[in-house]
Structure 1
Amino acid sequence: MKFWLLISLLGLAGCAHMQRSASSGYSGYQDELQYADSNPRPRYDRNTAKTAYELGKDPSSLSANDLTQIRDRQKVRDLERTLGSRKEREQYSKVLPWLRNDEEKAAFLSIPSVEGRQQWMNKQNIWSRSQAPKQEMKDLIETQDIAVGMPQDYVRKSWGEPASVEVSGNPIYKNERWKYQRQVSTSQGFRQETRMVYFEAGRVVGWETE
């Protein structure tokens, strides 16, 4: 009886020290598990995921550049909440379509006074952007076309005044949907065509035709 007990104990000890061969397939599987454990998919908070979707990004696969853009957008949102007076909100609403990116928006909003922001706009020649559109925008206006990134003023110059305007959220942020209607010629005669143009921060982000 003692002999069999000794054999059993030796067998268990041998199993504990046994090495799996690389060709067994088991070793590679263990390596994959260890790699997966050491490289977990990053998890972001709800606010980060929400901002990622707002920017058209997939929260499950964000690059370092994506995260920078998300942080910039969140910084802008936080600064927008500090606009306390009506005068501040109106000033921001007017300049918003001419600010190129979140970095410029943050720079503008970080200035603590209306007068200081006005001086910043003058120094950056912000209003000259509305008076002297780039050649690409000029070409679009001449051909009565629009493009993503086009400011609202240029859309008006290209397509005229919309039939109706719908505003999403706070009006100062210029997140809007413009409706255009016109008669177009078809093989069956004229029919009414409806176009919806979508704006974020006063710039075109997309459109659809019905």
Structure 2
Amino acid sequence: MRPFGRTVGIMRIVIAGGHGQIALRLERLLSARGDEVAGIIRSLEQGDDLRAAGAEPVLLDLESASVEEVAAHLQGADAAVFAAGAGPGSGAARKDTVDRGAAVLFADAAVRARVRRFLVVSSMGADPTHQGDDVFDVYQRAKGEADAYVTRQEALDWTILRPGMLTNDAGTGLVRLEAHTGRGAIPRDDVAAVLAELVDTPATAGLTLELISGSTPVSVAVKSVAGN
């Protein structure tokens, strides 16, 4: 059973990019509150970290898997979270295959598996029309193209979260969550906390939200954008 104040039962949540820094934090939060969590990883060596976070590791390469293969792992899930990324040091090609291609694949698989609740960890400034040829420019375009694709999927109750500059500072639980916040930093702890709240708040479906540190408690910030 969920703790007092929760309005939904135990959920099964599948996270793409399950070994990422935000994903591991999110897995700990979701499993601690009683959810069933699975994290998609591309290396067996990452499995122990997921199990330590309370998540079930799922070995699958989103750069080579088919829609059917991904959908098979999404069967029966209540929500899907795309938190994968090519990561620092990767070149432009992998920004396209992971940050865009894998996100599109994961969305298609969610539709195939009839998983309606779909969250995307994007990037502030993501824009399919972003100009420039540097790797970061390619990254912003790839994220923007992926976001645009997700927003066209009528079978998904999607929410896109665009955090500001990520830090490893301890989370404060105080954020600013709006359609447009302006630039700012945000601890990964607080990004994970917002994602955990968004999973439970389908009234945020159809929203693209920016996130930076602020003065509003996470639960209040999410309820505010949901119109509650």
TM-score normalised by L of structure 2 = 0.23
Q: Which has the higher contact order (CA 8 A, sep 6+)?
A: 2
Please state which structure has a larger fraction of its residues in helix: 1
- Which has the larger Rg? 1
